[in-house]
Structure 1
Amino acid sequence: MTLLSLAVPATAGELSFSSPIDCDLNGPCYIQQYVDHDPSKDASDFTCSGLSYDGHKGTDFALPTYDMIDSGVDVLASASGVVAGVRDGIDDVRYSPDRAAILKGRECGNGVVLRHPDGWETQYCHLRKSSVTVVRGQSVQVGDVLGQVGMSGRAEFPHVHLSVRHEGKVIDPFDPDGTIICGEAENDTLWTDQPPYRAGGIVRIGTSSAVPEFTDIRANTVAFPNTGSDALVIYAFLFGTQKGDVIHLSLQGPAEIVIERDITLERSQAQSFRAIGKKRGGEGWPEGEYTGTATLLRADKVIDSENLTLTLP
Structure 2
Amino acid sequence: MLRSALIGLVLLVAPAASAQETEPRFAWPAACTLGQDCFIQNYVDTAPGPRFANFRCDRLGYDGDNGIDIRLRDLAAMRKGVDILAAADGTVAGIRDGEPDISVKERGVDAVKDVKAGNGVTIDHGGGWFTRYAHMKQGSVRVKPGDTVKAGQPLGQIGLSGFTEFPHVEFSVMKGLGETFIDPFTALPIGSGCETAGHPLWAADVPYIQTALLIAGFTAGQPDWEAARRGDYAEIKGGRNAPLVMWAESFGVRAGDTQTVTIIGPDGKPVHQTRTVLPESKNLFDAFSGRRAPPEGWAPGTYTGRYQLQRYDALVIDTERKVEIP
Q: TM-score, normalised by structure 1?
A: 0.88
Answer yes or no: is the 8 Å Cα contact 1:227–1:287 preserved in 2: no
Match of 1:281 among 262, 272, 294: 294
Answer yes or no: is the 8 Å Cα contact 2:67–2:171 preserved in 1: yes
Answer yes or no: is the 8 Å Cα contact 1:237–1:272 preserved in 2: yes
RMSD: 2.1
Sequence identity, in percent? 33
Q: SS state of the match for residue 227, structure 2? A: helix
Q: SS state of the match for residue 217, structure 1? A: helix
1:244 to 2:262 alignment: no
Answer yes or no: is the 8 Å Cα contact 2:95–2:144 preserved in 1: yes
Q: SS state of the match for residue 289, structure 2? A: strand
Provide, for residues 207-238 of structure 1, a one-character-per-residue CA deviation record: whole Å limited to 9, x for no partner.
Answer: 12112111112111137242424111111111
Q: Could you list the runs of 5+ residues in structure 2 that have no partner in the other structure?
A: 1-21
Match of 1:211 among 196, 201, 222: 222
1:75 offset after TM fit, Å?
0.8
1:35 alignment counterpart: 44
2:112 alignment counterpart: 103
1:86 to 2:95 alignment: yes
1:14 to 2:38 alignment: no
Q: Which deviates the most, 44-53 or 298-307?
A: 298-307
Return the letter of the residue paired with 1:205: A
Q: SS state of the match for residue 68, structure 1? A: helix
1:118 alignment counterpart: 127
**Pair 1:44–1:181, CA change in 2 (3 A):** closer
**Pair 1:251–1:194, CA change in 2 (3 A):** same
1:305 offset after TM fit, Å?
2.1
1:300 offset after TM fit, Å?
4.3
**Segments of 4+ moved more than 4 angstroms:** 178-182
Q: Could you list the runs of 5+ residues in structure 1 that have no partner in the other structure?
A: 1-12
Looking at structure 2, the residues matched to 192 and 150 of structure 1 have their Cα atoms a distance apart, in angstroms, of: 25
Q: Which deviates the most, 255-264 or 169-178?
A: 255-264
Looking at structure 1, the residues matched to 204 and 298 of structure 2 have their Cα atoms a distance apart, in angstroms, of: 48
- Aligned positions of 1:63-82 closer than 5 A: 63-82=72-91
Match of 1:191 among 184, 190, 202: 202
1:98 offset after TM fit, Å?
6.8
1:94 offset after TM fit, Å?
0.3
Looking at structure 2, the residues matched to 122 and 229 of structure 1 have their Cα atoms a distance apart, in angstroms, of: 54
1:142 alignment counterpart: 151
Q: Which deviates the most, 248-257 or 41-50?
A: 248-257
Return the letter of the residue paired with 1:192: A
Answer yes or no: is the 8 Å Cα contact 1:227–1:286 preserved in 2: no
1:48 offset after TM fit, Å?
0.6
Answer yes or no: is the 8 Å Cα contact 1:209–1:229 preserved in 2: no
Looking at structure 1, the residues matched to 219 and 284 of structure 2 have their Cα atoms a distance apart, in angstroms, of: 19
Return the letter of the residue paired with 2:98: G
Looking at structure 2, the residues matched to 193 and 258 of structure 1 have their Cα atoms a distance apart, in angstroms, of: 46
Provide, for residues 246-295 of structure 1, a one-character-per-residue CA deviation record: whole Å limited to 9, x for no partner.
Answer: 22211212243432111222333222211110111133222223322222
Looking at structure 2, the residues matched to 215 and 181 of structure 1 have their Cα atoms a distance apart, in angstroms, of: 34
1:35 offset after TM fit, Å?
0.2
1:303 offset after TM fit, Å?
2.2
Answer yes or no: is the 8 Å Cα contact 2:104–2:112 preserved in 1: no
1:163 to 2:172 alignment: yes
Looking at structure 1, the residues matched to 143 and 310 of structure 2 have their Cα atoms a distance apart, in angstroms, of: 43
2:244 alignment counterpart: 232
Q: TM-score, normalised by structure 2?
A: 0.85
**In the comparison of the two structures, how many residue pairs are matched?**
299
Looking at structure 2, the residues matched to 159 and 290 of structure 1 have their Cα atoms a distance apart, in angstroms, of: 33
Q: SS state of the match for residue 104, structure 2? A: coil
1:269 alignment counterpart: 282
1:181 offset after TM fit, Å?
5.4
Q: Which deviates the most, 255-264 or 22-31?
A: 255-264
1:173 alignment counterpart: 184
